[in-house]
Amino acid sequence: MTMQNHGGYSDTYDNFTPDITVEGVESTPLSQYLSLVRLSDQALEKLISYFEEADEKTIVVFFGDHQPNDTVAAPILNLNGMTTKTLTEDQLKLRYEVPYVIWANYDIDAESGKDTSANYLAADVLHYAGISENAYGSYLLELQRNYPVISAMRVLTKDGLDTNSSSLKQELKDYQSLQYYQLFDWKKSECADRSLIRKEMKERKQEFVRMNQTQINETKSKKWCKRLPLLAAFLIPTSDLGDHLYRS
């Protein structure tokens, strides 16, 4: 994980001199961003080269959780006769797509051009690694077959329909319930019996469905602070990650 090419892009540093520019554009933030991307690219190359020679089976997951801010994007859009405020709906969706790579130094199922979202990424990695999923991970892989992308910005269905979660509230009701449980009510250890986990997930899902929206909001506000230290340890969709489509 690197924060090297995360904003802002206007400060100056003694150990870094931007050396990439775009012809016809005078933009310090854009130059910084592109220069830092190149450094991150070189670092990724070094990392992959190291593990190519390693004996231990290794999987590397590389992705960005969002595109650079409008300060960086605006000069490029202007070159193409656009602004951040005049983007069409389809053009705006492109601002929420980021690339990702799942690489291994041994044979795994090869795929390319697979669009996904952050909520599926961890389950996909475990699948490629041949590691058995827990009940929730198995559920996500099954859900992914019908809804390859689920994010705050858009939802893609297996039939190619590009829509949003608001129009699929009923279809995604079970997922909403289980995701809430996984985020806020997960109290089982890793060694807990899976049959008990499935049973409790089902019971808590039913309980959640019966709760009205006021109770849900109250429960979230009470339990969020308790869960916050754990969120950093797991790959889950946050308000930042959850907006984006991941394009391999």
Each residue of 98-123: pLDDT tens digit? 989 999 999 988 888 889 999 999 99
DSSP type of residue 6: P
Tell me, yes or no, if the pTM score tops 0.85.
Answer: no
Alpha-helical (H) ranges within 56-95 are 70-79, 89-94
C-alpha 120 chain-centroid distance: 8
Which pLDDT does position 120 carry in this prediction?
94
Q: Which pair of structure tokens corresponds to residue 33?
A: 């961003």
pLDDT at 246 exceeding the cut of 90: no
Measured between alpha carbons, how far is 119 from 192 in angstroms, rounded to an integer?
23
CA dihedral 86, 92, 96, 101 (to 10 degrees): -110
How far the first Cα of the chain sits from its last, in Å, is 18
Q: What is the pLDDT of residues 185-222, one digit of tens each?
A: 766 544 455 566 666 667 666 665 565 444 445 544 44
Question: Which stretch of 21-25, 33-37, 191-195 has the lowest confidence by average pLDDT?
Answer: 191-195
Per the DSSP assignment, residues forming a β-bridge with 190 are none
Q: What is the pLDDT of residues 62-93, one digit of tens each?
A: 988 889 999 999 999 999 999 999 999 999 98
Which pLDDT does position 10 carry in this prediction?
86
Residue 152 CB partners (closer than 8 Å, separation 6+): 165, 239, 242, 243
Measured between alpha carbons, how far is 28 from 49 in angstroms, rounded to an integer?
32
Percentage of the chain exceeding pLDDT 70 = 74
Band of pLDDT at residue 184, cut at 50, 70 and 90: confident
Which pLDDT does position 224 carry in this prediction?
33
Return mean pLDDT, the chain.
80
